[in-house]
Amino acid sequence: MNVLETSKLLDEELYSRQLYVLGLPAMQRIQGAKVLLSGLQGLGAEIAKNLVLMGVGILTLHDPHPTCWSDLAAQFFLSEQDLGRSRAEASQELLAKLNGAVQVCIHTGDITEDLLLDFQVVVLTASKLEEQLKVGTFCHKHGVCFLVADTRGLVGQLFCDFGEDFTVEDPTEAEPLRATIQHISQGSPGILTLREEADAHHFHNGDLVTFSGIEGMVELNGCAPRPLHMREDGTLEIGNTATFSRYLRGGAVTEVKRPRTVKHEPLDAALLQPRVVAQSPQEVHRAHCLHRAFRALHTFQQLHGRPPRRWDPVDAEMVVGLAQALEPLKGTEGESSEEQLDEALVRTVALSSAGSLSPIATMLGAVAAQEVLKAVSKKFMPLDQWLYFDALDCLPEDEEPFLNPEDYAPRDCRYDGQIAVFGAGFQKKLSHQHYLLVGAGAIGCELLKGFALVGLGAGGSGGVTVADMDHVERSNLSRQFLFRPQDIGRPKAEVAAEAAHHLNSNLKVTPLTYPLDPTTEHIYGDNFFSNVDGVAAALDSFQARHYVAARCTHYLKPLLEAGTNGTRGSACVFMPDVTDVYRGPASDADSEDASYPVCTVRYFPSTAKHTLQWARDEFEGLFHLSAETIKRYQQEGHPQGALISLADMDGPQVLTLLQVVLGVLRERPQTWRDCVLWALGHWQLCFHYGIIQLLRLFPPDKDMHLLYVLAAANLYAQMHGLPGSRDQTELRGLLKLLPLPDLQDLAPIFASDLELAWASAELGPEHLKKLHEALEIWSTGPPLEPLMFEKDNDNNFHVDFVTAAACLRAQNYGIPPANRTKSKRIVGRIIPAVATTTAAVAGLVGLELYKVVGGPRPLSAFRHNYLHLAENYFSRWVPFAPAIQKELLGVRVTMLLRGPAVLYSAGWSLEKQAWHLPLSLSSGHYGAAQAPGASCCFGCLCLNHLFLTDLHCLPWFINVSESQGPGTILQSFFFNCSSYIPTLKLLHVQPPTNFFNPPSLTRWQGIYVAKITLSSSAQLDALVVNHYELQLQFTCGNHTMEGPLSVDVQRDPGHIQCAGRFASPAGEIIQVPEMVTPGARLYTLLLPGMELQGAQMSITSAQDPPYFPGHFSINGQGWLQAPSQGLKGQAQKVFQLQILVNFGQGQSCHGMLIVKVLPAPSSQVSFL
């Protein structure tokens, strides 16, 4: 199969997130690969799962051994019904369902030399050393990549042999560096100056680069790679350019990645002279000891015909003796090593080696699968050559487990492999836990699978609650392995709960489809968290992580947290009183979805990201905001009122609206030709008349111009409910017949968007009159359809429009454009992801879960984790301890805090003080069974310890009603700073706002008084933001201290309004499959801060046939119900429902629900 055919078969929608990590060439190689995997216990199942999800061409399974009870602790494809069946046969069907594009085969015979020659990669798991040496020697000789993977209890081993001359085409995950050129001199050497000086620091001496898009010095375009030399002034030498044409403008310089060659030793040599992956000499020594431990375990098996017994001290001592008897390892130069064997380490490995643990199999299986992909894709550097991983820190430090061997004996149950390590008592404790899992995406699915395998919440009063408001999309299927094609459109939480229950029928999983944020604290409140033992967070935004972490701190709950980006991943644990709290980035501001200054985006772009942001704004203004405004004008039926609201809009918004409404048309489009004419006119406006006022027009990319007109015309047609066309040949012919619009026809009010920016934002009566006339024309006919940007549908022209618009914008400004794939990632804010990294961090979380559930553990037992699979980097470290607690003696305590929780405050009423003072910290009234160590200002800054006359500590918590206006005094502070002039600054506010004045500072009778007040622009609304954090900085002489002031905005009972997406102009979008049951509940209306009991809800918008199949309805409980006729045959239709909520006594609010009907999923897999 050639590359072109492979590319046609590659399902880019399914593998979209993976493509951003691996790239198309690597994915094409993976899709054509053939892999043999021998051994289908837990580790083998994990490797197989990851390879199938990531689209390896053919995977052949080999494991004739029968399924036994201990397999079920880590092998999620097997169940009690498979006991006695061949592991390979029992696993094949479920594996194949993960990805219909992968051929999953079974080999039932012996592994022969002829069989091995048929594969590019051979992987052995749970195999004997004799078999490893035999197969490894043959594979090395014949150029077949060979891997060995094994786990023994809490330790794992991975070996890679890719041969003596293996070429890595793309060694790193980073994209090639690319920068915009400012100037290139003629000379020897030629001097390259980059537009952004900071870009030069990313290049290094000797880097190879090539050039493109240069005008003038065209000899450099597409030249052979040239080496760079850095100069002290930030410019770059690029070799001789003396004979080249003079540089004029534009162009980009791009790094050329160099292939690298890897030389691996065969297994027999690597056993005696191991090269191990380690980050320090201490890790190297530990890895060498584990290397000898594994060899000793193989020798024990060969001598006794069995592995060491569970926690048998006699067998363990024999293993230690066998390890000591091994010949010394050889160093890098072949010399004998004099390293001392860590006997305690080997003994512990032997004692626990009979176990089979899901987290260890998950973590090592992910790394092994990534190495297989490196072998077939030639992407990223492979391991060199041994990796040893151990989590022996999961074992209790002060216990002697073999004193009670019966606790570790097999019980013929699915947890036997885990009981062999931790005992039956620990297993019972696991089963009674109740955990909250926040997020059912890729990491959430892996965690839920792990919970099912270890038995978390699978007995007694235990259980798992999974919270996720998203729905399954097709792009999820390559990583979120609990989902199948038939689940597309369903809530992730519900599907994941059902799948987890199928993995372990004893697991009790409760799905919740509400977000976990400030709007749902009436759901996830005191009662909810009082029944939760811990929280696992699998979230994709820092804002959400911070909120969940704050809730865990408040309720004193352990938090397990993980995240990934490409082949990078992290897993962390946060224990109350033991570790420091979560301190991730405050927001995603440092990521690629950060916003840019408006003036930069509109007039002075310098990067492809600027042009993409401009194109995304264009989409929003042209196809969403304009249609939404006109639609509202139609529905309200009050032209003058609509004009007043339009007059309040700023100039650019009005111009965008006029361009859409008028353009070159004087009436609503009726045909595809009208839409093309409008698109051609807008193309002229944006990329000729508009831009010519700023820059000279650069030579156009004709194909990209055609794509822009095609996409814009189709989107315009969609907005007006007209049929579009994908026929580019027909479009070319049509464009030849259409004259280019004149400038006067394009913008009858303003000559250009640049002129508008310089003009007053207020529109005069004449402008409003023209706008009124235009809107009158558009008010006839069916309502316009605002388009919501959807990144994952490659047939809707959304990404095509943004890509083409950004590319043309980039050409106008001489900026290297981004291709469609990169544009989709940036504009869609897509986080690159692969199944291997996801699984690895989930396994690491599972290991920390053992420690959290096991009981009180010291700080030294816990581990934060970071890995980078592309660069073979693995790091585990002990978390930081919590903030130091200061004991205050001989002072009057006026506030007692535990994290952000207020346990006592002298500012409370006397009744509230009297109720709280008698309570003990161990009584459970403060959200935990035990809460030792609380002291004044625990986890906060005591500004008053040195300088305040009264003991006021920060953080200070105050409540303010949303009805409070400008000038309201929120808090006063009293300072005693006699020798200096103090200062009190407001450093920043989260979330950012200008509602708070800088602190005022006055002096009264020798005491300084500071006041925090509301500013003149303050408009508090608890439904928008109900909590602000003001970071204050106090200075007295050389002493500088900081602390937060927390402001909680309280609802005003007399202030009734709808909020959230439901009340936004765009409305709340609901995705519903067309096969939904007639009359089924589609949505439950929840209004933050309001009780719906007694409220009257009604759908006020028209539901007239034939557009509506029947009437939707909404009852007093806030349930939106499907029409009695159902929605069959309504696929791809969108129904807009205006809903009135009447609270009585003249108080009401309204919002909009948008029901999008999804087609019934196909049972076949197609390749585009």
**pLDDT tens-digit series, residues 179-188:** 888 899 999 9
Range among 1039-1043, 1099-1103, 1152-1156 rated most confident? 1152-1156
Q: ω into residue 1106 within 30 of 0, thus cis?
A: yes
Q: What is the mean pLDDT of residues 128-140?
A: 95
Smallest CA-to-CA distance from 77 within 94, 60, 102, 96 is with: 94
Show the domains of the chain with their CATH numbers.
3-168 (3.40.50.720), 178-256 (2.40.30.180), 425-589+831-882 (3.40.50.720), 598-827 (1.10.10.2660), 895-1050 (2.60.40.60), 1061-1158 (2.60.40.60)
Which position has the higher pLDDT, 1096 or 347? Answer: 347
Decide if 417 contacts 74 (C-beta within 8 A): yes
Q: Lowest mean pLDDT: which of 167-171, 553-557, 653-657? A: 653-657
Q: What is the mean pLDDT of residues 941-956?
A: 37
Evaluate if residue 691 carries a pLDDT over 90: no
Q: Residue 937 and residue 956: Cα distance in Å, rounded? A: 10
Locate 147 and state its tokens: 């891997």
Smallest CA-to-CA distance from 159 within 115, 120, 129 is with: 129
Per-residue exposure over 447-468, b if at least 16 CB sit within 10 Å of its own CB, e if not: bbbbbbbbbbbbbeebbbbbbb
Q: What is the mean pLDDT of residues 391-403?
A: 76
Q: What is the mean pLDDT of residues 351-363?
A: 94
Evaluate if residue 462 carries a pLDDT over 60: yes
Counting residues of the chain whose pLDDT is more than 70, the rounded percentage is 78
Q: What local confidence, expressed as pLDDT, does residue 415 receive?
A: 93
Evaluate if residue 58 carries a pLDDT over 50: yes
Decide if 342 contacts 324 (C-beta within 8 A): no
pTM for the complete prediction? Answer: 0.70
Decide if 955 contacts 897 (C-beta within 8 A): yes
DSSP state of 517: S
Mean pLDDT (the chain, rounded) = 80
Q: Lowest mean pLDDT: which of 273-287, 310-324, 470-484? A: 470-484
Q: Residue 1090 and residue 87: Cα distance in Å, rounded? A: 55
Q: Confidence band (pLDDT; 50, 70, 90) for 291?
A: very high
Which distant-in-sequence residues (6+ apart) come within 8 Å of 575 by Cβ?
Answer: 558, 852, 857, 862
Which position has the higher pLDDT, 544 or 1060? Answer: 544
Q: Lowest mean pLDDT: which of 8-12, 273-277, 317-321, 977-981? A: 977-981
Q: What local confidence, expressed as pLDDT, does residue 929 receive?
A: 31
Decide if 1051 contacts 962 (C-beta within 8 A): yes
Q: How open is the CA angle 33-39-44, to the nearest 5 degrees? A: 70
Q: What local confidence, expressed as pLDDT, does residue 473 receive?
A: 83
Q: What local confidence, expressed as pLDDT, does residue 1 receive?
A: 34
Q: Residue 382 and residue 574: Cα distance in Å, rounded? A: 33
Q: What local confidence, expressed as pLDDT, does residue 687 receive?
A: 74
Q: Lowest mean pLDDT: which of 435-449, 481-495, 564-578, 818-832? A: 818-832
In the chain the first and final C-alpha atoms are separated, in Å, by 16
Q: Confidence band (pLDDT; 50, 70, 90) for 288?
A: very high
Which position has the higher pLDDT, 273 or 6? Answer: 273
Q: What local confidence, expressed as pLDDT, does residue 870 receive?
A: 92
Which position has the higher pLDDT, 960 or 956? Answer: 960
Q: Lowest mean pLDDT: which of 34-38, 95-99, 1134-1138, 1146-1150? A: 1146-1150
Counting residues of the chain whose pLDDT is more than 90, the rounded percentage is 35
Q: What local confidence, expressed as pLDDT, does residue 841 receive?
A: 95
Q: Is 672 left (phi over 0), alpha (psi -120 to 50) or beta?
A: alpha
Q: Is 818 left (phi over 0), alpha (psi -120 to 50) or beta?
A: beta
Q: pLDDT tens, 1018-1060?
A: 888 776 777 888 888 877 777 777 778 888 887 665 555 666 5
Which residue numbers are catalytic? Answer: 599
Q: pLDDT tens, 421-455?
A: 999 999 999 999 999 999 988 899 999 999 999 99
Evaluate if residue 2 carries a pLDDT over 50: no
Q: What local confidence, expressed as pLDDT, does residue 225 receive?
A: 93
Evaluate if residue 695 carries a pLDDT over 50: no
Ranges of beta strands (E only) in 366-522 are 386-390, 434-438, 463-467, 509-512
Q: What local confidence, expressed as pLDDT, does residue 1137 receive?
A: 87
Q: Lowest mean pLDDT: which of 610-614, 666-670, 1123-1127, 1163-1167? A: 1163-1167
Q: Give me the half-sphere count of Cα atoms (radius 13 Å) on the Cβ side of residue 193.
A: 9
Q: What local confidence, expressed as pLDDT, does residue 242 receive?
A: 93
Greatest Cα-to-Cα distance within the chain, rounded to the nearest angstrom: 99
Q: Lowest mean pLDDT: which of 457-466, 545-554, 699-708? A: 699-708
Alpha helices, DSSP H only, in 353-437? 358-377, 416-422, 424-431
Q: Residue 128 and residue 356: Cα distance in Å, rounded? A: 17
Q: What is the mean pLDDT of residues 984-1006?
A: 80
969-975 and 956-961 beta bridge pairing: unpaired
Locate 342 and state its tokens: 């860590």
Decide if 1057 contacts 1023 (C-beta within 8 A): yes
Q: What local confidence, expressed as pLDDT, does residue 426 receive?
A: 93
Q: ω into residue 491 within 30 of 0, thus cis?
A: no
Evaluate if residue 647 carries a pLDDT over 60: no
Which distant-in-sequence residues (6+ apart) come within 8 Å of 234 by Cβ?
Answer: 194, 197, 200, 201
Q: What local confidence, expressed as pLDDT, does residue 665 receive?
A: 65
Decide if 449 contacts 76 (C-beta within 8 A): yes
Q: Confidence band (pLDDT; 50, 70, 90) for 974?
A: low
Q: Confidence band (pLDDT; 50, 70, 90) for 1092?
A: low
Q: What local confidence, expressed as pLDDT, does residue 590 receive?
A: 43
Q: Lowest mean pLDDT: which of 602-611, 637-646, 665-674, 981-990? A: 637-646
